[in-house]
Amino acid sequence: MIDSYDKLTLAAWAQLAALEKRDFEDDISRQVAVLAILAGKSEREILNLPLPEYTALVPKADFLFAEPKPSAIAARGLRTLKLEGWTLIPTTDIRKLTTAQYIDFQTMLSAGATVEQLLSCFLVPEGCTYCEGYDVAEVHALLARALTVPDALALKAFFLRKFSRSMRSILTSCKWAILTAPKEVRREAAKMLETFKASGDGLTQ
């Protein structure tokens, strides 16, 4: 049974989040639904457990009362990420980010994509190029079922920091270029830069 965030996958986390949209008759019904997800069972199976077994399961869900914390996975030096026989290569140097990766990440970020979808923009199967030679949906599914919440939060924060720094560098370069541009170009470019600033260097989150 999942009894800590270190064992909780993104898929299970999404299932737990989905419970917020359900109307439960009482707190016990909600508790049964939570335990079913953590135990990998159906709600009917949980209800059919002997009372002592059910009672023993309840405290194992207490970790959910605390906020999950990012792991140290990115701090250990991120060269490869191995999950279920897959070897994913992270794009840690934003200068090597392809235009397709950049556009997809911006689009997904604005659309409120899932964590696994965002991470798939930076994690490419070994021997492949982004979106070529593999099924992106398979990578989404892999990350959802195999990546734990602490690792996912750490990776998301890591890539967001990298991306944000890159955007600031791009804006700085644009400002220098504007200084030597014609007056009309400078006026229009200044308006665009203010738009970027207002949304956090082009980021929506």
User: What are 174-194's pLDDT values in tens digits?
Assistant: 554 555 666 665 565 555 555
Sign of the Cα pseudo-torsion (41, 5, 16, 203, in order): negative
pLDDT band at 92 (very low <50, low <70, confident <90, very high): confident
- 95 pLDDT exceeds 70? yes
> Residue 75: which region, alpha, beta or left (left: phi > 0; alpha: psi -120 to 50)?
alpha
Distance CA 57, CA 171 (A): 53
Predicted local distance difference test score (pLDDT) of residue 110? 85
User: What pTM was estimated for this model as a whole?
Assistant: 0.78
DSSP character string of 65-82: GS-----STTTT--S-EE
CB-based contact 120:143 (threshold 8 Å): yes
Read off the pLDDT of residues 51-85 as tens digits, 9 standing for 90 and up. Answer: 999 999 999 999 999 999 999 988 767 889 999 99
Enumerate the domain spans of the chain: 5-65, 81-198
